[in-house]
Copies of this chain bind each other. A is one copy, B any other.
Amino acid sequence: MKQHRYEQIAKALGERITSGALSIGDSLPTEAALCKKYRVSRYTAREALRRLREAGLITRRPRAGSTVTAAGTSTAFSLPLSSAADLFRYATDTRFVIQRRERIHAAGEDLAVLGCRRGQAWVRLSGVRRKPGIAIPLCLITVYLHESLAGLAKRLPRSAGAIYPMVEQELGVRIARIDQRIEAVPLGEPQAAALGPARPAKGTAGSAPAIGLRVRRYYFDSRDRLLEVSDSLHAATAFAYEMRLRRD
């Protein structure tokens, strides 16, 4: 496993941040200093800093240099959202591993999530979302597809990226609106086990209340027909939901 030069540098700097040697507000070495220290070209030093910025650890400004903005230890993953494009990109560099695939008729808990008429036919896909190379899944996820998408559901590979563009293509419609609902919920034992790495041991129930962040998304077409619902459950210790609102 060859590690690239810029990865080594990014890793070294990242560890100085996560270990606390550099804390929030501190400055990192300038590009010129990194070039000299590691004997690399400016391209390589910039690439290392670029990765750190994309990881949300630092910000960079001309003349001010690179500044630590997050300790990195708190939440391992965050979902920066400023548009549906981000939603899509998040989905494309993670993979939806489908573990179950069923036809259902809305009832019980499913009905509560869907909010449709009782008995309406849907396809339910459940599984986890993974980031390649990382053992712990990012979240547990259940996707409901409208019965008119049963054909698509069958053809879906065991491991898929974003769903809603496929829905658009399948039906030839446009997703015109996405409603989101975010809430904090307690995690059950099996859920916590699936999402958490090592729980602090000592199975004395309730010692460390496992907390989750549940995100539900409802996808509507231009005539307000509900086509898809996704329900994902993240470990609160490893996930924060970020979004950006712009005003032009």
Contacts and interface: CB of A to CB of B under 8 A. Distances in A.
Number of copies: 2
Contacts of A115: 24-25, 59, 69-70
Interface string A201-245: 000001101011100000000000000000000001001111111
Contact of A211 (B92, B182, B185): B185
Contacts of A85: 55-57, 70, 73-77
A81 B174 CA distance: 22
A132 to B, nearest CB: 13
A177 B112 contact: no
A175 interface: yes
B86 A56 contact: yes
A84 interface: yes
A146 B67 CA distance: 18
Contacts of A182: 182, 213, 240-242
Interface string A26-61: 100000000000000000000000000011110100
Which 7 A-B residue pairings sit nearest by Cβ, starting from the closest?
A: A209-B209, A77-B84, A184-B184, A56-B89, A25-B118, A184-B236, A183-B240
Given A55-B89, A84-B247, A179-B242, 4 more contacts: A23-B118, A54-B89, A56-B92, A78-B181
